[in-house]
Chains A and B, each alone.
With several copies, the nearest count.
Chain A
């Protein structure tokens, strides 16, 4: 698998992402500086977490207009696989490679804690490390993770099985209006979505931070294992 991790000024979880990929595949991914103009030859482009351009203006806005995003868009048009985590998800929505937008957390505070996700999306390399309905634990760390989209778009995402992950309780219970469960107030408790062709995935929490047995557990590892399996090592 040839993976590349995009680094914008202000990106700060690129090492975490590289570490997770290395654990899953035995190979270190390529780091892609935001001024590069091509991502050709890669199997997978990952946009990691952080505060690209300080997240000033709107989270992800300035990064979405960086030179490399032109290349990423071209890559997407050719059917490329893209994973955006946290700031990466925000960037993908700002770039309109994924629908919707991420607003300030409903409680107005940065949220850094473990949460539980229910795996929902079907037929994607990002979800097939689990069975539909599985629940896994993952850290989250964001200020703007409150997913929103038009009601029509939300219905469409549900109908097409493009809600990848939802916030839930440890036992799998989803409750949209419970701030202890749907921590950031996301529409329909959505934590991650897929593109129409299911090759682009954006999610807010950080499974990459729970992939190492020495660092709290491996609950997030199935995501990376499944990706590696899809492309071969």
Chain B
């Protein structure tokens, strides 16, 4: 099964990459852009009996490694 773990910086944590990209976009002439945030998506092939189990596995992996809960939130989706 395909599991997608979506990791984003917690609200309130400054995103230096997003900020730099926002700057760069503005200087390229994209004037309609406000806030930019850069997040990470981890796509995993997981062998599991069913979607529920796959999600659980994804959550465990997110907690164990894929996200740093001090600064990041995550969200797990079973895609297929």
Contact = CB atoms under 8 A, between A and B. Distances in A.
Given A62-B65, A65-B28, A108 B17 contact: yes
Interface in B1-38: 12-17, 19-21, 24, 28, 38
Contact of B14 (A53, A62, A103, A108): A103
Contacts of B68: 58, 61, 94, 101
Nearest to B14: A148
A58 B24 CA distance: 13
Contacts, number: 56
A103 B17 CA distance: 9
A96 interface: yes
Contacts of B38: 56-57
A58 B65 CA distance: 9
Name the interface size band of chain A: 20 to 34
Chain B, interface size category, equals: 10 to 19
B66 interface: yes
A53 B20 contact: yes
A146 interface: yes
A93 interface: yes
A99 B38 CA distance: 23
Interface of B: 12-17, 19-21, 24, 28, 38, 64-66, 68, 70-71
The A interface, classified by DSSP as helix, strand, loop or mixed, is loop
A106 interface: yes
Given A57-B21, A100-B70, A148-B71, A65 B16 contact: no
Given A56-B21, A96-B70, A61 B16 contact: no
Contact of A65 (B15, B19, B20, B24): B24
Contacts of A103: 13-16, 71
Contacts of A96: 70
B16 A106 contact: yes
B57 to A, nearest CB: 16
A105 B16 contact: yes
Contacts of A61: 65, 68
